[in-house]
Amino acid sequence: MKTLVQNIVQLRNPAFRLHESVSSQDLIQFTYTQVRSLLRGMKMIFKGKKNKMALLGRGVRIVNSHKFTYGRFMKLGDFVYISALGKKGIKMGSNVSLGSFSRVVVATTLDNPGEGICIGDNVGIGEFAYLGGAGGLEIGNDCIVGQYFSCHPENHNYEDHEKLIRMQGVSRKGIKIGANCWIGSKVTILDGVEVGEGSVIAAGAVVTKSFPAYSIIGGVPAKLIKTRK
């Protein structure tokens, strides 16, 4: 049974190897959970999508699904919410994982739809993430991201003190995160930021400006600590 489970998981993660400490009871529980997720994933067929071996947790909700595309082995944790309302919708590559209670939202209004969200292949994002796509959000291949990650590609205008802030509209520049980045837990990235490939962002950082490839950054606001090259 161990060999069978390992071979199946390796379809999604070729580097996967079962540890010797894993018991038969552990395997049974794991297999039961994954089979239930696969069965939930079959519901995507009723939304006009190909199944592509999607794994869906409990309470997953996808709205504006006609603007949502994804690759093989997408994995959405419990109570993930996805809203693809926007100009370009949401595109996820293969082997993308989103942790439980995460929200992926392009826009919440019909009078000023957002741009869109594009997530590359082999991207893993932890629980309680918030990914906004109003000004456009791109996350490159092979990024690994901790819990409570948030991206906000939009800012409220506030220059006119005679006018309510909520009535002054918004500005949008977009956020781009390069491939192969490691982003720690509770990181926030604000509008207009570009993070170069291969960068590392320390837990709790608030990133307000752009950084080149292979940067190691941290702090509030985030600053360059050193480079990997």
Over residues 127-137, the mean pLDDT reads 96
In terms of domains, do 127 and 182 share one? yes
Residue 138 domain-assigned (yes or no): yes
Q: Tell whether pTM > 0.75.
A: yes
**105 and 30, same structural domain?**
no
Q: Which residue has the tokens 């003190």?
A: 161
Quick check: 24 pLDDT over 80? no
Given a cut of 90, is residue 25 above it in pLDDT? no
Judgement on whether residues 123 and 204 belong to the same structural domain of the protein = yes
Residue 18 has pLDDT above 90, yes or no: no
Q: What are phi and psi of 38, to 5 degrees?
A: -65, -40
Contact 132, 111 (CB under 8 A): no
In a domain, 47, yes or no: no
Tell me whether residue 49 is in a domain.
no
CA gap 119, 95 in Å, rounded: 10
Residue 137 confidence (pLDDT) above 80: yes
Give the number of domains in the chain: 2
Q: Are residues 172 and 199 in the same domain?
A: yes
Note the pLDDT tens digit of each residue in 188-204. Answer: 999 999 999 999 999 99
Q: What is the pLDDT of residue 15?
A: 73
Q: 170 and 213, same structural domain?
A: yes
123 and 207 housed in the same domain: yes
Q: Please write the tens of the pLDDT for every residue from 154-183.
A: 999 999 999 999 999 899 999 999 999 999
Residues 92 and 182 in one domain: yes
- Whether residues 71 and 31 share a domain: the answer is no
Which of 29-43, 100-114, 202-216 is most confident? 202-216
What is the rounded (10 degree) CA torsion for 38, 41, 45, 49? -120
Clarify whether residues 38 and 109 are in a common domain: no
Check whether 8 has a pLDDT greater than 90: no
Residue 218 and residue 160 in one domain: yes
Q: Is residue 51 part of a domain?
A: no
Residues 30 and 142 in one domain: no
Q: Which residue has the higher pLDDT, 25 or 186?
A: 186
Is residue 202 within 8 A of residue 220, CB to CB? The reply is: no
pLDDT for residue 120:
97
Predicted confidence (pLDDT) per residue in 75-99, tens digit:
999 999 999 999 999 999 999 999 9
Domain with 96 in it: what CATH number? 2.160.10.10
| Residue 110 belongs to some domain of the structure | yes
- Based on the fold, state whether residues 66 and 8 are members of the same structural domain: no
Give the pLDDT confidence of 34-70 residue by residue, as tens digits.
777 877 877 777 666 777 788 999 999 999 989 999 9
120 with 142: CB under 8 angstroms?
yes
Name the residue range of residue 20's domain: 1-42
Tracing tokens 């092979």 back to the chain, one arrives at 142
Strand bridging mode 144-145 / 150-152: unpaired
